[in-house]
Structure 1
Amino acid sequence: TEDGESWALRPEPTAGIVRAYVQHGMQTLPQPVKLTLTGPMFRYDRPQAGRYREFWQFDIEAIGDPGPAIDAEIIELADRFYRDAGIRDPEIHLNSIGDAACRPAYVAELAAYYRGHLDRLPALERDRLERSPLRLLDSKEPAMVELNAGAPLMTDRLCGPCAEHFAGVRAHLDALGVAYRLEPHLVRALGGGGRYDGLVELLGGKPTPGIGFGLGLDRILLALEAQGAAPIVQPAPVAVVVGADPAATGDRLRIATVLRAAGIAARAELGQRKLGKQLESAARERAHFAVILGDELADGQVQLKDLEAGSQKLVAVDDLVRELERARTSHHHGTAAP
């Protein structure tokens, strides 16, 4: 500008969301903090089919939870978004690129491998090699296919904590029945997402884990058009799955996934907090219902609490979807006939 200031168009939403998390003291809130944003982004790249200089993106971030269950929830949510939007049979490709402890040594090994084959690298990939060797792994250049097949794999070089975390993510996805394919050459994660555990600290906050995804809405619409489909819009009640046992994140995630599969907007409370705090969080979000998991779960039952009416009743897990659907059509929450 005339005043010597530099301005930039937003290339992606995560950095801005994390900056807001730090600036507004969200680290003092119950963690994880879950945020979403939909809006226009911009890139300087030459426009191509499905890649515009201005494009719209749907973004979700979960900041403050280091566990693998939140990774699985984010992945399942992205898969569910595609399916609910009308995309037929989306395919999940899964990979881990480690963390700050094990990734640097792997990147150095990978760069050395490519430098040993410098004469086979296309010009674009030689330039990327100096800036980001990992990007060469998912190169679409035909000359890179055979070369990448012999490249060292990050998944074989994960440190202990990263290997344990990645195994935990896969175990949660398996338990949820979410199909995926391990793709060791995948660098840019599903929908342009993944973990960014060092970003909060980089932007001035305390060390805080984070994970999220961004989905290109323009590309989804193009995919729907190619499949001859139309976007699906289906309003649904909102339910939050909470539990008496703070550590039972897998059970809460499983129930929330069942509800989402039935078309009910739901989330699992994955923070390891007391039940009262979980219910307070659900009420602050103005959720209509809380599905409370307790000792009754062993008998296939849960407590369904109407947060607006204050009523609560015991419901069989197999009947939970039907009860929520009934409550949605009732004019007065909690008054549906048993």
Structure 2
Amino acid sequence: MNFKRPRGTSDILPQDQPHWSHVYSTASKIAEQFGFGRIDTPTFEETSLFQRGVGDETDIVQKEMYSFDDHGGDSITLRPEGTASVCRAYIENGLHNLPQPVRMFYMAPMFRYERPQAGRVRQHHQFGCEIIGDSSPEVDAEIIELGWKYINDLGLKGVTLRLNNLGDPTARSGYLSDLEKYFTGVANQLPQIDQKRLERAPLRVLDSKHPVTQSLTDAAPRSVDYITGETKEHWTSLLTLLDNLKTNYPEFSYTIDHRLVRGLDYYNRTVFEYEPIGATGQQTLLAGGRYDPLIGILGGQETPAIGFGSGIERMILEMKKQKVTVAQLKGPKIIIITVGDSGKASASLATELRTAGISTILAPKRSLKAQMRYANNQAAENVLILGDREVN
């Protein structure tokens, strides 16, 4: 029987690691530059955390979660996204008692039962950042700037920001009512999958990737036309702050896209996505938004928050597409080639060198020519040949 990896997963082989190392080191460096501390949460959580936090009507909860009952009868779900877990940790560990806001980042695997394709897999890895405890437009601009700097420091070019404002629950009720009326009027033109979305959650129709639905959304009501008062002031201030970013980041650009709603129920106000200019299909590189209601929904005190997630596999695909150069793995400092009966001496010398902090490996005991070929394949900086004469 030949075993194969599960569909929608991948083996990250040694030759793949330079790209992964580049992403991980860049992500950590940028997050720490912005004052973020790392958080690691469990790979699995109670299923109800995601049902309540992500939303029962989302595609994630409806179709994509890996859920099961454990031996104790508890319903458990492999983490499909990072924000709900971070918010649970914020509540459970009393992080609201720390000076606010709290800035946290994570790099972790996520699991969703999706149809595998380029940039969309069933186990993917994500870099995410969350700022919890501040409602100001300045932190919205900060998290968007962090995303931009991360993308640029990875070496990517030709990336733009899409931006929208979903408003607050009070102002959104009128918008959602008008949106439902509009799509109900054109429901016979919608594909079946979006007709079902309209019945469950009209806002999800805007998130459709079907070309017919996307063309119909051009004339749909726009959420930014419904925001008023403090929400509008927040939005206007954010746009000014983003315009100011262009002073330090000349290539930074953004467009306001009323179809951008994000696929999770917890978002309010600011939502955003970075994608390559002219992108089609599944090419979002980094996406997020403000989720002020979420911590309250999960049982904590009402606490404003904003964050993003960025799929690492998709980022690496784009890096390879743009031919971004990354540092390659270095070979060992020394490879010891053994000739004759000096094997024990070679092993002892290798141990001494490693103890001194020098990377050292022993060539497999073959002919001298084969060992030299092996050393070359391993990209060794130096070769040390040890024979009976050298030992004696």
Q: TM-score range by the shorter chain?
A: 0.5 to 0.7
Match of 1:219 in 2: 314
TM superposition outliers: structure 1 runs of 4+ over 3 Å: 230-233
Match of 1:88 in 2: 157
Taking only aligned residues, the RMSD between alpha carbons, in angstroms, comes to: 1.5
Match of 2:91 in 1: 22
Aligned equivalents of 1:82, 1:63: Cα separation in 2: 22
SS at match of 1:76: helix
Q: Tell me how far 1:232 sits from its aligned partner.
A: 7.5
Match of 1:185 in 2: 259
Amino acid at match of 2:259: H
Aligned equivalents of 2:169, 2:312: Cα separation in 1: 32
Match of 1:158 in 2: 227
Match of 1:322 in 2: none
Q: Tell me how far 1:132 sits from its aligned partner.
A: 2.7
SS at match of 2:76: coil
Query: What percent of counterpart residues are identical?
Result: 43
Amino acid at match of 2:296: E
Match of 2:361 in 1: none
Counterparts in 2 of 1:194 and 1:231: CA distance versus 1, 3 Å: farther
Aligned equivalents of 1:28, 1:166: Cα separation in 2: 29
Q: Which has the larger radius of gyration?
A: 2
Q: Tell me how far 1:97 sits from its aligned partner.
A: 0.6
Amino acid at match of 2:195: R
Q: Tell me how far 1:28 sits from its aligned partner.
A: 1.1
Q: Tell me how far 1:231 sits from its aligned partner.
A: 4.7
TM-score by length of 2: 0.57
SS at match of 1:184: coil
The answer to whether the 8 A contact 1:58-1:215 is kept is yes
1:250-274 deviation per Cα after TM superposition (whole angstroms, max 9, x unaligned): xxxxxxxxxxxxxxxxxxxxxxxxx
Amino acid at match of 1:70: V
SS at match of 1:95: strand
Whether 1:205 and 2:205 are equivalent positions in the alignment is no
SS at match of 2:109: strand
Counterparts in 2 of 1:118 and 1:159: CA distance versus 1, 3 Å: same
Structure 2: runs of 5+ lacking an equivalent: 1-69, 247-251, 263-271, 274-285, 329-392
Match of 1:252 in 2: none
The answer to whether the 8 A contact 1:86-1:232 is kept is no
Q: Tell me how far 1:71 sits from its aligned partner.
A: 0.1
Structure 1: runs of 5+ lacking an equivalent: 234-338
SS at match of 1:102: helix
The answer to whether the 8 A contact 1:11-1:43 is kept is yes
Aligned equivalents of 2:157, 2:207: Cα separation in 1: 24
Q: Tell me how far 1:88 sits from its aligned partner.
A: 0.9
1:303-334 deviation per Cα after TM superposition (whole angstroms, max 9, x unaligned): xxxxxxxxxxxxxxxxxxxxxxxxxxxxxxxx
Counterparts in 2 of 1:203 and 1:120: CA distance versus 1, 3 Å: same
Match of 1:79 in 2: 148
1:22-62 deviation per Cα after TM superposition (whole angstroms, max 9, x unaligned): 11111111110000010100111221221000000000000
TM-score by length of 1: 0.66
Q: Give the number of aligned pairs.
A: 233
